[in-house]
Structure 1
Amino acid sequence: MSLHFTERQSRTIAAAITTLSALVILVVVGLLAWLAASFLRAFSGVFLPLTVGAVAAVVSRPYYEWLRNSARLGMTLAVVAVFLSALIPLGLFGWFFGRIVLDQLVGLIAQAPAWWDAVEAWLEDQTPRATALLDGPGRQQVGELIASQQEALLGWLQSLGNQVVAASLGFARGIGTLLSWVITPVYFAYFLTTAGIRFDTEKVLPFLKPDTRNDVKYLVLEFIEIVVVFFRGQMLIAFLQGILYAVGFTAIGLRYGFVIGLVLGLLNVIPYLGSIVGLAIAIPLALVQPDGGLTLIGLTLVVFIVVQQVEGWYLTPKIMGNRTGLHFMAIIVAIFFWGTALGGIPGMILAIPLTAFLASLWRLARQKWIAEIL
């Protein structure tokens, strides 16, 4: 017995099947994405150093190629020069802040005897009162309180023991993660000296149709291009912002303004992070330093506003343009989303490239696949 449908019924059935298929595909893709995210979180200690080394190498490649071609350095000397160009500024920052921390730590240690004398004096003053309390009715009350809370006390001690064990395991995992980061310079040197990125879809994906392989190749190369453009542009923008912050803070008389400005500018590798952290650090410092006050706070806010305007109206359009195609609200939401999804700072750093890639994927899907379905 054959079924006959009207044209409208056929269109309705086709639309229902298409919708159901699309839902199944979305569920499968979502499940695969969840499994991939879980896998990356579980083995982040392995993949994060590899990713950092690869991204740093891609960003540093123009400098490396300039050293090879213009400065006529050999491969080994060029790699060493790139390393030193990064390590020397980091060492200077560490020396400066380490000296500040050491000075404060020495002052803290110098104050420790006076604090201990104050504690001893307080204890001597309170000892007669405590003795009188325990010799009187207070002893019985304390004993009853301990007896009534014995079970809760044992539970608390057990919980404390579990926390100590968990902390020990976490410390051991932390040591393992630290050791995995030690190999990052090797990854960096390998990717820096490897010529180009090869992605032969015919060998890697022979089971796909040629059109599908071309789409996959386009998406992979698009993602790589977005990562390269974003990190090269954003690092240059962050460096220039750091210079502007440093000059501005120094000009208005903010203590440690030059170093604070450079650090806050470099934090803007994650968009807006340096500005947010900078407000939380610079404004209290402007208030509490000896010659600080409302005037210095106002000048600090002026520096922030001017630098943000220069970045938004000149630096970003000139250096990066609208390559990511993302609105600033989308950028903020993406930073928090990927920071949560990928576990903190690495997700926040990769938020913009990942979101821009998903936007490119959506445009391709809308133009080719969704148009064919509908």
Structure 2
Amino acid sequence: MTAEHRTHLFWLAAFAGLLLLLALFRPILLPFVLGFLLAYFLNPVADRLEAAGLRRTFGVALIIAFTMAFAIAAVTLLLPLLFDQLKQMLAALPSDLDRLRASVDAVLRERTGARYPSIQEGINKMIADLQANLGTSLGGLATWIWNGGTALINLLSLALVTPMVVYYLLVDWHKIVSRFHSWLPRDHADTIGQLLDDVNAAVGAFVRGQGALCLILGIFYAVGLSLLGLRYGVLIGLTTGLLSFVPVVGWCFGVALGLAVTLSQYGSDMTMLGLTFAVFFIGQILEAFLSPSLVGEKIGLHPVWMIFALFAFSYLFGFVGTLIAVPVSAALAVVVRFAFARYLESDVYKGTVVANTGVAEAQGSKHSR
């Protein structure tokens, strides 16, 4: 076995060991993963405060205090409203589905004429199946959230451990990064360092930028739908903004749910349907206008890649996987592009003819000397 093969086996074994450790400690990972993500996002703020003359420990303590104050305000002010709207939505869902069916029937009867009976039968069956499976689906969703999101000693540990993890990571962030770089294999340190810089730039640009964009869109949709008088407007708007982390998916979800609620609330009122759609259409224009400045134009994350990452990581690691899916998918996209560029430069891609030509030219130049 050559030295190169031994090196490859070492890194494969190290990667497999890391996956095994993540699988073993999955039930207790949430506060540490959440703490690392928060520290990563807040590190630029800590750097700016330190550059302004504040001691890093004091600046980090200030950041954590403001972050916790914001979280407490959100929990005490916003979450009760969201839970109240969610409770109302679930309680009214059977009657809303009946009204939705009546509204759709009225539109279809007018538009389809003789074909209406067969179309009506299909729609009635679909809604009946949805009502029958609603309880099971919601129960399964609640179980998944509970098992993945609170499979810890208790919820109190999340509130206590996460700020501690954020504090110590932020205080020692640059020491940790420097130590990690010192552990890189010396023969490939420059290449790996450049790759890590590219990963950091891509993840930072996408996650921070897309996070800000989602917040803006969520507020816009919530305010717009609430001004229309749409029931559950805040819940639908903020959920649409959150799901906008995956381009197109959030918008499609919001349009479908918004129009469905409009139909159940206002019937086939084309004015209200048009106004609801206009809110989401303007949101798309706002996203297209803000995205280049907030996210950047060359991140290169395809929506299908992000959807796959969300499914894959949530399947492997539960709720923790959902948290890390987007940043990890951004990092993997950079690694895949790097590997593909290396492949295009290799003899495997260029073929033996090109490789042999290069060897012959090298030997010819050697003999000519």
TM-score by length of 1: 0.61
The equivalences for 1:256-295 within 5 A come to 256-289=232-265, 291-295=266-270
Q: Distance in 2 between matches of 1:332 and 1:98?
A: 27
Residue of 284, 290, 303 corresponding to 2:279:
303
Q: CA deviation at 1:81?
A: 1.7
Q: CA deviation at 1:285?
A: 1.9
Match of 2:177 in 1: 198
Match of 1:314 in 2: 289
Find the residue that maps to 2:296 and give its secondary structure.
coil
Instruction: Give 1:245's aligned amino acid.
Output: Y
Q: Distance in 2 between matches of 1:175 and 1:348?
A: 20
Cα separation, partners in 2 of 1:369 and 1:263, compared to 1, 3 Å: same
Runs of 5+ consecutive residues of structure 2 not aligned to the other structure? 93-146, 356-369
Contact 2:218 2:241 in 1 (8 A): yes
Instruction: Give 2:35's aligned amino acid.
Output: G
Find the residue that maps to 2:73 and give its secondary structure.
helix
Q: CA deviation at 1:351?
A: 4.8
Q: Distance in 2 between matches of 1:292 and 1:60?
A: 46
Instruction: Give 1:91's aligned amino acid.
Output: T
Match of 1:247 in 2: 223
Contact 2:225 2:233 in 1 (8 A): yes
Q: Which protein, 1 or 2, shows the higher relative CO under an 8 Å CA cutoff with sep ≥ 6?
A: 2
Establish whether residue 355 from structure 1 lines up as the match of residue 332 from structure 2: yes
Larger Rg: 1
Q: CA deviation at 1:37?
A: 3.2
Match of 1:188 in 2: 166
Instruction: Give 1:320's aligned amino acid.
Output: V
Q: Distance in 2 between matches of 1:265 and 1:283?
A: 16
Cα separation, partners in 2 of 1:306 and 1:63, compared to 1, 3 Å: same
The equivalences for 1:1-374 within 5 A come to 33=15, 36-64=18-46, 74-75=58-59, 76-100=61-85, 174-176=151-153, 178=155, 181-182=158-159, 183-196=161-174, 197-200=176-179, 203-205=182-184, 208=185, 210-289=186-265, 291-295=266-270, 296-311=272-287, 313-343=288-318, 344-363=321-340, 365-366=342-343
TM-score by length of 2: 0.62
Q: CA deviation at 1:195?
A: 4.7
Contact 2:28 2:151 in 1 (8 A): no
Cα separation, partners in 2 of 1:367 and 1:105, compared to 1, 3 Å: closer
Instruction: Give 1:278's aligned amino acid.
Output: G
Cα separation, partners in 2 of 1:235 and 1:90, compared to 1, 3 Å: farther
Cα separation, partners in 2 of 1:371 and 1:257, compared to 1, 3 Å: same
Contact 2:89 2:232 in 1 (8 A): no
Q: CA deviation at 1:201?
A: 6.0
TM-align CA RMSD: 4.2
Aligned length: 287
Q: Distance in 2 between matches of 1:246 and 1:103?
A: 17
Q: Percent identity?
A: 25
Contact 2:82 2:234 in 1 (8 A): no
